Amino acid sequence: MARIGLLTGGGDCPGLNPVIRGIVRKGIDTYGHEIFGFRKGWKGVLDNDAIELTRESTSGILHRGGTILGTSRTNVYKTENGEARVLASLKERGIDVLIPIGGDDTLGVARKLYAAGFPTVGVPKTIDNDLNATDFTFGFQTAVQIATEAIDRLHSTAESHDRVIVCEVMGRDAGWIAAYSGLAGGADVILVPERPFDVEEVCDHIRNRHTTTGKTFSIVVVAEGATRADGGAAATAADTVDSFGHVRLGGIAFELEQEIEQRTGYECRATVLGHIQRGGSPVAFDRVLGSRFGVAAIDAASNGDFGKMVALHGTAIELVALEDALSEPKLLDDQLFETAQVFFG
């Protein structure tokens, strides 16, 4: 029996509650642990703000989006005496092992704490699917499903009005959501950060489709982090950066709306899906993956497998070193993009 702490950090993500439920169910029923959930990510650890999680308090949350613990983008290492405060909170509350559930930023803090001597086990989370050492993160399939449904809806209105619609999706510096939803939704062009685009080539695909297939509408899916081949940074929605140094991406769809309309003469509209992609119930895949990750994380915490992260490899859940997950982002697979390209134009 041990006292386990957990937290959810970074952007929220469908599937976080299934992870929490998995940790609590197996942690209490099998190992007899006491489980504490810190509120609002690392902020809760800094402030020693936690609640005890029980079977009762985590019942009925499997299908719920977001996180019952709340989240924040607090960077312990940008906070004065951050590491010392975190270690003091964990000691005061008698936490033996900490399970941070998050993306590269949250897990980066977990890795540093582990290096400082505190036992941690990471659970990878992001709708962007850009974490290395795991085939998928939970939340990604839900985001793709939401974006695909949006693209289906955009088809009928684009067709009715003979328009080109540019649909901007999330993903930060990776094109996973764009490539998957664009392929699933039958996009006519997909633009991703990994392949800087030439706007004239985009227009050529659209002109080609309109002149050779008789179609009078097109759908362009663009990742928020897509950049131009002739240089320049991705479009940003704000001048500020968060505590991990990330800019807020967004707005490329509006630039493309203007440029495609001017160059082709086709009427054009932009739609930015934004946080809709992160909200609401997780799809079944993410509920299952979240539950499996939660159970594997509490097993690792109970077996002394510290400094590790749970990961999906094929169909198996395995443990990898936290640093393997964080060495570099997992960018879009070339083969997938090349398949998507078959359907351009």
Binding site for ligand F6P (CB under 6 A): 11, 103, 126-128, 170-172, 224, 248-249, 278
- Choose among 154, 224, 162, 156: nearest CA to 191: 224
Measured from the CB atom, is 273 or 296 closer to ligand F6P? 273
Question: What's the min distance (Å) between Cβ of 10 and ligand F6P?
Answer: 7
Report the residue number, 196 or 274, with the smaller CB distance to ligand F6P.
274
3-state secondary structure 154-189: HHHHHHHHCCEEEEEECCCCCCHHHHHHHHHHCCCE
By beta-carbon proximity to ligand F6P, the closer residue of 224 and 257 is 224
Residue 282 CA to residue 285 CA, distance in Å, equals 8
299 is annotated as an active-site residue: no
Nearer to ligand F6P, 172 or 308 (CB): 172
Least distance from C-beta 266 to ligand F6P, angstroms? 29
CA atoms within 13 A on the CB side of 298: 29
Task: Please state the closest distance from residue 240 (CB atom) to ligand F6P, in A.
Answer: 11
Please give the angle made by the CA atoms of 3, 91 and 299, to the nearest 5 degrees: 30
Whether residue 9 contacts residue 17, with contact meaning beta carbons closer than 8 Å, is answered with no
Q: Cβ-closest residue to ligand F6P?
A: 170
Who's near 265: CB < 8 A, 6+ residues apart?
A: none
Least distance (Å) from ligand F6P to the CB of residue 281? Answer: 17
Catalytic residue among 128, 130, 173, 299: 128
Active-site residues, by number, are: 128
